[in-house]
Chain A
Amino acid sequence: MSRGFEPNEPISTLAGDDRGLSTLLSLVAAITVVTITLAGTMVIVEDAFRDTRRGDAERVTAIQASDRLVAAGGPIAVSQNVLAADELDSLSAADLRQVGATDRFEMAVAVDGDRIAAVGDPGGGHVVRRIALVQSSERVERTPVLVGTDPGVTLPVRTDAVELTIDPPSSTTVTEVRSGDRVVLADGGGLEGTYDVLTSPYRTLSLEFETTGPLDTGDVEIAYQSTDSDRVILAVTVDDTERASGGGASV
């Protein structure tokens, strides 16, 4: 016997059990969907977090080290951004520790792509590149042409120091030597021997000799350091061993 249905009375076409079951099923389906969304969101957030791992410590250590290496007073620089070729060749791990390498912050220095010194073995991390000149110098000795009394000499050279060897003939005394307008050597009794003289690196080398008599070629010898410079790219790589780095090429 079926009961009568009033109009507007909601009816189930299924038995009571089946209707409960169907809502239950849709509940399970709903929970599954929400869980999957949550898991997917976790993945997105993890990704976003990984992007924020910036490696600040190793970046700052690399910047510092590169500053110390190219500045005067460091292990390899002669003056700001000018490096000495022999010091560069002998760059050691101890020098790197002096500019910031530690057991935690591994560091490597490369010149034009070739690694020349390292503390540890940084495989990734942060790289800072600097433009620098490498200066190699050698001693040059010149015997300038001298004629007459109070001769002058000009050499197509700029240097900040010169070694003068004065050997005048017995009839002549050299009383004064000037570089540009500046008196660099003076002795009323006569200059004779080897002297170190400071000159201006901003002017071509020119020397004037004040003498009592004529000087001849060979009475004065001039020696100085002639420098050659090459441009190099100095690359400093620092890797923080306590943080997983996000990759990046090492040098």
Chain B
Amino acid sequence: MTGGSPRRIGRAATDRAQLSMPVVEAGIGVVMILSLAALVAIGTPAPPADDPQLDVYAEDVGMVLAEEPPRHGGTTRLDELTRSQTSFDREAPALEQRVESLLPANLLYRIETPHGAVGFERPTGAVAGASTVTTQHGEVRIEVWHP
């Protein structure tokens, strides 16, 4: 036989039998390089779980409240607040107003005292700054976070 028919049969046989090696090698090379790139991208650190600016806001609020004169009796505002349950109940609204006037706009807060808490509920998982002030009647904890 001469002519085309062996060619036709031959082409089919060849294509089935031989995948071009460079293509396979290139494919492997590409996969390796891309997986290394993915490692680098994943390896960069996650965003930090605390916000030092919020921490320092909470500390500043604590410092100011701890040295402020009280509205009625006691040595300082925080002292008046923590003296007794009745004192706390009476002073709580004024404390809310004072904290809101101190903090930059839009920040939410929570102040916990031995007689109760003032402010908002902190959503779990929200990044918050915190600070604690020790008074003679107990500890006051201040938390601040972005809404």
Contacts and interface: CB of A to CB of B under 8 A. Distances in A.
Q: Consider the complex of A and B and state whether they touch directly, i.e. have CB atoms less than 8 Å apart.
A: yes
Interface of A: 2, 5, 10-13, 22-23, 26-27, 29-31, 33-34, 37-38, 40-41, 44-45, 48, 51-52, 63, 66, 70, 79-82, 128-133, 158, 201-203, 231, 233
B69 A158 contact: yes
Interface residues of B, number: 43
B52 to A, nearest CB: 7
B40 A44 contact: yes
Interface string B15-34: 00110111101100110011
Interface in B21-72: 21-23, 25-26, 29-30, 33-34, 36-37, 40-41, 43-45, 52-53, 56-57, 60-61, 63-64, 67, 69
Interface of B: 1-2, 6-7, 10-11, 13-14, 17-18, 20-23, 25-26, 29-30, 33-34, 36-37, 40-41, 43-45, 52-53, 56-57, 60-61, 63-64, 67, 69, 75-76, 101-104
B22 A82 contact: no
B22 A27 contact: yes
A37 B20 contact: no
A130 B102 CA distance: 10
Nearest to A42: B37
B61 A128 contact: no
Given A13-B7, A41-B37, 15 more contacts: A11-B13, A23-B20, A26-B20, A27-B22, A41-B34, A44-B40, A45-B37, A48-B40, A70-B60, A81-B60, A81-B64, A130-B56, A130-B60, A202-B76, A233-B104
B114 to A, nearest CB: 21
| 5 closest residue pairs by CB, A with B | A30-B26, A202-B75, A131-B60, A11-B10, A41-B37
A132 B10 contact: no
B60 A132 contact: yes
A12 B13 CA distance: 9
A34 B28 CA distance: 9
B60 A34 contact: no
A52 to B, nearest CB: 6
A51 B76 CA distance: 46
B2 A2 contact: yes
B44 A13 contact: no
- Output the residue of A26, A70, A81 with the most chain B CB within 10 A: A81
A12 B69 contact: no
Nearest to B104: A233
